[in-house]
Structure 1
Amino acid sequence: MSRRTLFRAGGAAALAGALLSQTGPAFAASDAGVQELIERRRLVLTGGRSAADIPELASQLEGMGETTGKWWTSMDKAPVRTSLWSDIPLTGIGQSTAATGNMGLHFNRLYDMALGYAVPGNPYAGNPDLAADIVAGLQLLNDTAYKPSIKAAGNWWFWEIGVPRKTVDILTLLHAEVPAALRTSLLAAVRWFAPNPNWRGRATSLAETGANRVDKSLACCMRGILDNNPSEIALGRDALSDTVRGGTNSVFTYVTSGDGFYADGSYVQHSYLPYAGTYGVVALAGIAEIIAMLGGSTWAVNDPKRSVLLDAVEETYAPFVWDGRIMDTIRGRAVSRQREPDYVSGFGLISAVLLLAPGCEEPYRSRFLALAKGWLERCADQKLVGHPTQSLAKSLLSLGVLSDSSVVAVPAPVYSRMFADQDRLVHHRPGWGCTVNLSSKRIGRYEWGNSENNLGWYQGDGMTFLYTRQDPSQFSADFWPTVDPYSLPGTTVNDQVRASGAGGAGTGIPRAFQAFAGGLTVDGRWGVIGMDHLNHNKTLSGRKSWFFLDDAVVCLGAGITGTGGAAVRTTVENRSFAVGSVPAVRTDSRNRHMAPGDAPAAVKRSVHLEGHGGYVFLDSPGVSGTPEVAVVRRTGNWFDVNSGADTGGTTDPVTRDYVTVTHRHGVDPVASGYAYMMLPAAAASDTFSQSANPDVKVLANSADAQIVEVGKDKLVLANFFAAASAGGYAASGPCTVAAHQPGDKLTLSVADPSRTQSVVRLTLAGSQWRTLLQADPGVILVSANPLVVEVQLDGHGHQKNLTLGS
């Protein structure tokens, strides 16, 4: 073993060993026991002494020192002052929303400085003058801003979560340097603004859920530890299980509505949005930190339903990880945060899983380590270890699993999975993956607010995310500030101008008007979803379907009708590239020399982007309008998409070149449609072959039914938006249907994405299948000739299956 590898493995082993101590004999609630918990927390925050000896972490330590020096140098140290930094004044605290955000930034900067003081190996470690200035800064904030007599104006999150979390961590890092009176006063302020993690504010009318509950639980546990208050440690732990309400909002219980984990793998926050990639990661990380901190103590987390959380790692999070990145489809308004691209969210998940693993029984522990190692190894263009957004402890844990030859990385997934409770399907194939943002009466179009995600209007109107190994940074390389927000891939929109959400107080999730959104999968290999689309002001409607196959995604649109006097377009693709690096473009097998500003080129059958894949326009009923391709250079800035108090981006201009493939439907179209097939990573020859002789046949494309047949796979996938007969199938009402013939069997799958019916009856013309071999509960073979199947539905959009023999 090389010296470097020895340092890497040794440092990580030291950290993991300390965390593994949580599985040892329980220790009691005593002064010594509480001090052990403080030291554990310091270890998670700092990584211990090991980092200073590991070459890979040198740049991270250097960056930490630079940040500490930056804030310390710019800090106002005058005897009389009203804030610590002139660029974030506290004037109007208790009345001003801006001052509240600035208060949060004050604590953030003091935390950065406290890390510089507490982490060995950086230039400011143990500096008494630095510690004195941090303590003086805390005193100022406690005297003037964060104290019980101040009104909690502006965003509640700063008062109840953001500032409490930073306060207890600063006190942990500086523990002995903070005078007892100041520590007690700061903890009293935390206790005042967030007295009980079960509830919002000081009342008991609004129960906390999901990530917010976890954040408050962690702060409450630390408050109790720092104040040597065993009852508060227990209060924080028990809030995870919601013991005060019999587990109603426990993070270890499956929910059937609202916030939390669902049995099908979904995770919802703010009632209406899939949010595993942001709030879900916060929840998982917070619980992992609490388990790591309290394990083996009197207050260890021993909820008998802990498996709900542990199973979620593989059932909720892992399906939406693409080579270490969390797909934007479950990241909500966080997609607009410049400092939080998809791979940083992925790093957060990886770190949480690695922190969780030591305290888990088998087989969870081994599976978690293998998952994390696979994600780390496949995230080839970004490295968690040493990344400036990561803590040293996270880097050490990652180095440890990468250096451990006994851990065999889990390979990239290859499957299709439906998450009916959050209106999402994810499709993983060798070399590429795809997912789509659907919205409905149940699931929102997007989230905006607190000046975040200001231009996200159409993210939930069918935005289609295509990930490929050739282009891992597609959605992280300045995509959101430069993409045309009216031309998100997969969406059908009109040209009516929308207002920015900047400056809006609070957050909002506009839900869609229609009920139908969802679908099903077949054998974990193929999938189909659909959406009954009615836009935000009801001036545009249409029916949209996506069919996920081995080498393609087929997209159908029908009944597209506009009434607002505006032009309507479906964006087939809007692929982002670094300036001047647009690949070779071919249309209808003809080479195109296209540059930004050139007129769009008309397309008859196909478009191919060298190294990225092809797009084929299919023969289909109901199609009208004209496809075209263009290269567009777009410049924007991150502040326009996110101007939040502590999340806002810079105003520095960023520029990207886009290859935009558009199907134009004209002004106020009536019953227009589209039909195209995406061929991810396909060669030009394969694209040409599919355009001449596609593997897919469109059997129906109307406002009532959209159906495709894949002859080579003996597969039919269909969405019925109403009672209809088409393509040899008849449905009694809205449903999604799949028929697959593996050998001498027929497998039928049925779901109701509208959740409006208790029973659906399906009839197949000319069927040879007579014998029922297997059926899920509630599936009845009514007749063999003609073949009639009745499916009793669960009201949640989940599929049911049956298998027939001849």
Structure 2
Amino acid sequence: MHPAIPAYLLSRRGVLRAALAAAAFAPLALPAAGARAYAAEADAFDALRLKWRDLVLGSGFAPTAEPFASKLAALGATARELRSAMVRVNGSLWPDLPYADPEPDTDAESYTYSGNLNTSYNRLRTLAESYAQPGTGLTGDTALRADILAGLDHLHDQAYHAGQARYGNWYNWQIGIPQALLDIDVLLHDHLGTARIAEHCAAVDHFVPDSAVANYTGTSTGANRVDLCRVLALRGVVGRSSAKLSLARDALSPVFPFVTSGDGLYADGSFIQHTSVPYAGSYGAVMLGGLSMLFTLLKGSAWEVTDSGRQVVFDSVEKAYAPFLFNGLAMDAVSGRAISRGVQKADTRGVRQDDHLRGHSVIACVALLAQSASAAEKTRWDGMVKGWIARDYYSPVLASPTLGVAALSRLKAVNDGTAQASPEPTGHRLFPGMDRAVHRRTGWAAGLSMASNRITYYENGNGENLRAWHSGSGMLYWWGGDFANGQYSDDFWPTVDPYRLPGTTASRKPLADGEGGVWGVARPDVRWVGGASDGTYAAVGQYLKGLSSTLLAKKSWFFLDDAIVCLGAGIHGRDGTGVESVVENRNLGANGVHSLTVDGSAQSTAPGWAATLTGARWAHLAGHAGYVFPGGATSLKALRQARTGAWSDINKGAVTDPVTRRYLTLWFDHGTDPTWAAYSYVLMPGASAAQTAARAADTGWLTVLANSNDQQGVRVPSLGFTGVNFWLAGTAGDVTAGAPASVMIHETGTTATLCVSGPLRDGATIDVTWNRPVSGIVSKDPAVQVMATGSALTLRITPGTLAAVHRTVVRTA
């Protein structure tokens, strides 16, 4: 008996259970052949259930060995704490998680209530895992099992049952709760009884009907669709329904094809969720994780996923996910509002989230997906996984607090296997489908985050990520191979000045929390965002319009071997506030005092130190990077600052404990309401002071061809590199464009590769002339028409509407 539950509920439950059990599990009158087929199908359901149990618990590991022994002991400790706090009363199963009837309350409270119900089910799942896993101290504990079953009945009777109206966040009812519930049903299957299983299936059918996947739209796309299919598949396994399993398998198919707008995977490797948010590091990871689980679960069964489109998912490992993984971390530029999560209030036993921990989850997905891939793919991926594990010194993967025993067992198996660890690759990748770029060189990597009329400045929602307003305004992230991998992991987002994100140009106009609207609705009315790359170097540009401000700017980045050349022009604003372009805003940790040298002179390390560095030719931040200012800096300022903030400042669901981090900030102060201001600097990640000084002294290394509101371009003769962003038709150096375009030229020996894109995406023809002798054409893209060679080369490009890069290789001698 449950003394906290009214008697009428108990009696109603008894009647419903009897009816559901009779309907769901009534014996069938079948002929002998049919009976044998039915028995075989039943065996298939049992096999899938046991396979899913292995997927969620892990297999082949020694529970007394590390890292498993500590992980299992911690699971047991968490379960004991949760169990001791569990109290079955009307409206809650845990006192801190009320799910009371939200009818008279606000929408915000409704979201809280539904979230609390979701968390309650996930806490029960933790208890069930502690019961089922070896080495927890609660393994097979019958009293714990009884408490879990009582908790399941309590939540079912009071909140999650057929006929209940949902409230708050749809996700909790259709994905979060049923996934936890069905996992519990698998883990405790032999102790549930047919009636309880039947009512659980009825509840899931009520909240996740077949119609949830009838149309590929709304909340049933991308990662959400995969999550819904996971629910349907497990409902089919637990409830022995071939129809549900078939539906789950077939409903995955719309996820596979490339998209050209909205949610999903793009041919260029982009991944979008919520219409306009780059999300490979969060929702994309969920999608990859869900698909890896479902592919593995159904492999070899009557419901195996055989749609040839699934190859797009396998290809995405190297096209869409690996480019954003560096030394085990997943870049924040593709993690949406997840960057603001820290430690959540809803479960204080949880661990913080950061870029490394998100990366670990993606790596675990790759390791599992490899089990369904080809032998060649598995060999490559195992090498990639082993390399990431080896290089994540900042947050060791095999000790990851966010990974469970199952994921760790799979990762350790790869790490202990025969695969050769792969190094970090070098090269450049453009992702025009989501206004992102990634540059990798030996010893460092960088990521660029931009915004356009297709891609949001930033996403906030559910009270999360309230101040990342300018993260799409040209934020330039970078990490070292063996240093500075905690730059954005170490409480960066709650402590950084949100108006001074590195690489951005921004107005100091005060913005409200969540400025611009929720779910990525804030997008600038601009089209020219993109670039051109040959896979080694790149020219990338962004026409910037400020969020809720009059700010205008043209920003360009030229990605090279040991440096990134950064130009800004046309910087204009009329908000009555200052405008700044941020060269750097380095998180030095809780006690960092890294020295700053400017033109050979050491600057103060005192907290609060500030200076104007007009005329500076170079600067060096010890342990991080060098910065060169061609022709001498104007209006360059520097500041050392200890900044205190709390995760709850930027995420209403996070803990409130304040943290303090020290920062070294360098920025160009364009003044109040600037008129067509400009800047130029060269970022040299990992460079020494001597290397930085030498680069500043070598005035022939870099030629700035243009830095205006019409064109921005540079030439680096020693690299054979020329890059020009044509905001308008015109000429810069030896290059002329008859329409807006991004042009990059890389000369090597007696050949040159010309790369051209049309970032406006209007499909208009682009004529490009390179005023250099060209003797012939080696190869060209089908979209390229050669108009003239000889003393000069003229090309006519028909670029299409996806900002693809079109290549032409020519002989120069």
The match for 2:565 is 554
Pair 1:711 & 2:723 matched: no
| Deviation of the 1:49 alpha carbon | 7.2
| Deviation of the 1:450 alpha carbon | 0.6
The match for 1:605 is 617
Q: Deviations over 1:251-308 (max 9, x none)?
A: 2211222211111211111121221111111111101101111111111111122211
1:578, 1:656 within 8 Å by CA — same for their partners in 2? yes
Q: Which residue, out of 602, 617, 630, partners 1:591?
A: 602
The match for 2:747 is 741
Determine what percentage of the aligned residue pairs are the same residue: 37
**Whole-angstrom distance in 2 between the partners of 1:460 and 1:663:** 19
| Deviation of the 1:41 alpha carbon | 1.0
| Deviation of the 1:178 alpha carbon | 2.0
Task: Normalising by structure 2, report the TM-score.
Answer: 0.90
**Whole-angstrom distance in 2 between the partners of 1:600 and 1:194:** 60
Matched ranges for 1:174-323 at <5 A: 174-196=188-210, 199=213, 206=218, 208-241=220-253, 250-323=254-327
Q: What stretches of structure 2 of length at least 5 have no aligned partner?
A: 1-36, 343-351
| Deviation of the 1:747 alpha carbon | 2.1
The two structures, once aligned, show a CA RMSD in angstroms of 2.0
The match for 2:777 is 772
| Deviation of the 1:48 alpha carbon | 4.0
The match for 2:735 is 729
The match for 1:428 is 440
Pair 1:329 & 2:338 matched: no
1:386, 1:392 within 8 Å by CA — same for their partners in 2? no
1:416, 1:525 within 8 Å by CA — same for their partners in 2? yes
**SS at 1:484 equivalent:** coil
| Deviation of the 1:601 alpha carbon | 4.4
1:197, 1:213 within 8 Å by CA — same for their partners in 2? no
The match for 2:431 is 419
The match for 2:420 is 408
The match for 2:485 is 472
2:213, 2:251 within 8 Å by CA — same for their partners in 1? no
Name the amino acid aligned to 1:229. Answer: S
**Whole-angstrom distance in 2 between the partners of 1:117 and 1:274:** 38
**Whole-angstrom distance in 1 between the partners of 2:153 and 2:517:** 30
Matched ranges for 1:636-785 at <5 A: 636-643=645-652, 648-694=653-699, 695-765=701-771, 767-784=772-789, 785=791
**SS at 2:597 equivalent:** strand
Name the amino acid aligned to 2:394. Answer: D
Name the amino acid aligned to 2:430. Answer: M
Q: Which residue, out of 171, 184, 187, partners 1:173?
A: 187
Q: Deviations over 1:523-545 (max 9, x none)?
A: x2111110001112241001000
**Whole-angstrom distance in 2 between the partners of 1:506 and 1:199:** 25
The match for 2:365 is 352
Pair 1:110 & 2:124 matched: yes
Name the amino acid aligned to 1:267. Answer: F
Q: Which residue, out of 634, 639, 655, partners 1:630?
A: 639
Name the amino acid aligned to 1:600. Answer: A
**Whole-angstrom distance in 2 between the partners of 1:639 and 1:554:** 36
1:539, 1:564 within 8 Å by CA — same for their partners in 2? yes
2:60, 2:409 within 8 Å by CA — same for their partners in 1? no
Q: Which residue, out of 40, 55, 63, partners 1:52?
A: 63
| Deviation of the 1:346 alpha carbon | 1.1
**Whole-angstrom distance in 2 between the partners of 1:167 and 1:683:** 55
**SS at 1:60 equivalent:** helix
| Deviation of the 1:207 alpha carbon | 6.8
| Deviation of the 1:364 alpha carbon | 1.2
2:774, 2:792 within 8 Å by CA — same for their partners in 1? no
**Whole-angstrom distance in 1 between the partners of 2:311 and 2:602:** 55
**SS at 1:539 equivalent:** coil
| Deviation of the 1:167 alpha carbon | 1.1
**Whole-angstrom distance in 1 between the partners of 2:220 and 2:435:** 24
1:57, 1:385 within 8 Å by CA — same for their partners in 2? no
Pair 1:83 & 2:92 matched: yes
- Say which is worse superposed, 213-222 or 360-369, in terms of deviation: 360-369
**Whole-angstrom distance in 1 between the partners of 2:40 and 2:520:** 44
- The structure showing larger relative contact order (alpha-carbon pairs under 8 Å, at least 6 residues apart) is 1
**Whole-angstrom distance in 1 between the partners of 2:412 and 2:752:** 49
Would the alpha carbon gap of residues 301 and 614 (structure 1) be closer, same or farther in structure 2, given more than 3 Å must change?
same
Q: Which residue, out of 365, 374, 381, partners 2:394?
A: 381
1:632, 1:658 within 8 Å by CA — same for their partners in 2? yes
Q: Deviations over 1:11-41 (max 9, x none)?
A: xxxxxxxxxxxxxxx9995222211111111
| Deviation of the 1:88 alpha carbon | 1.4
Aligned residues between the structures: 758
Would the alpha carbon gap of residues 180 and 740 (structure 1) be closer, same or farther in structure 2, given more than 3 Å must change?
same
1:629, 1:660 within 8 Å by CA — same for their partners in 2? yes
**Whole-angstrom distance in 2 between the partners of 1:412 and 1:207:** 36
Pair 1:126 & 2:140 matched: yes
The match for 1:457 is 469
**Whole-angstrom distance in 2 between the partners of 1:204 and 1:347:** 30
**SS at 1:717 equivalent:** strand
**SS at 1:185 equivalent:** helix
1:699, 1:708 within 8 Å by CA — same for their partners in 2? yes
| Deviation of the 1:718 alpha carbon | 0.8
Pair 1:796 & 2:811 matched: no
Q: Deviations over 1:633-662 (max 9, x none)?
A: 00111111112xxxx221011111001011
Task: Normalising by structure 1, report the TM-score.
Answer: 0.91
Would the alpha carbon gap of residues 108 and 614 (structure 1) be closer, same or farther in structure 2, given more than 3 Å must change?
same
1:27, 1:298 within 8 Å by CA — same for their partners in 2? no
| Deviation of the 1:501 alpha carbon | 2.5
Would the alpha carbon gap of residues 446 and 506 (structure 1) be closer, same or farther in structure 2, given more than 3 Å must change?
closer
2:509, 2:549 within 8 Å by CA — same for their partners in 1? no
**Whole-angstrom distance in 2 between the partners of 1:56 and 1:152:** 40
Matched ranges for 1:528-567 at <5 A: 528-567=539-578
Would the alpha carbon gap of residues 192 and 595 (structure 1) be closer, same or farther in structure 2, given more than 3 Å must change?
same
**Whole-angstrom distance in 2 between the partners of 1:726 and 1:578:** 43
| Deviation of the 1:615 alpha carbon | 0.8
**Whole-angstrom distance in 2 between the partners of 1:374 and 1:783:** 47
1:587, 1:607 within 8 Å by CA — same for their partners in 2? yes
| Deviation of the 1:98 alpha carbon | 1.8
Pair 1:618 & 2:630 matched: yes
Q: What stretches of structure 1 of length at least 5 have no aligned partner?
A: 1-25, 242-249
| Deviation of the 1:505 alpha carbon | 9.6
**Whole-angstrom distance in 2 between the partners of 1:292 and 1:764:** 53
Pair 1:444 & 2:452 matched: no
**Whole-angstrom distance in 1 between the partners of 2:637 and 2:211:** 54
**SS at 1:448 equivalent:** coil
Name the amino acid aligned to 2:454. Answer: R
Name the amino acid aligned to 1:257. Answer: S
**Whole-angstrom distance in 2 between the partners of 1:336 and 1:790:** 46
Would the alpha carbon gap of residues 711 and 650 (structure 1) be closer, same or farther in structure 2, given more than 3 Å must change?
same
**Whole-angstrom distance in 2 between the partners of 1:27 and 1:730:** 73
| Deviation of the 1:451 alpha carbon | 0.7
Q: Deviations over 1:29-68 (max 9, x none)?
A: 5222211111111111112473413232221112101110
Q: Which residue, out of 486, 490, 500, partners 1:487?
A: 500
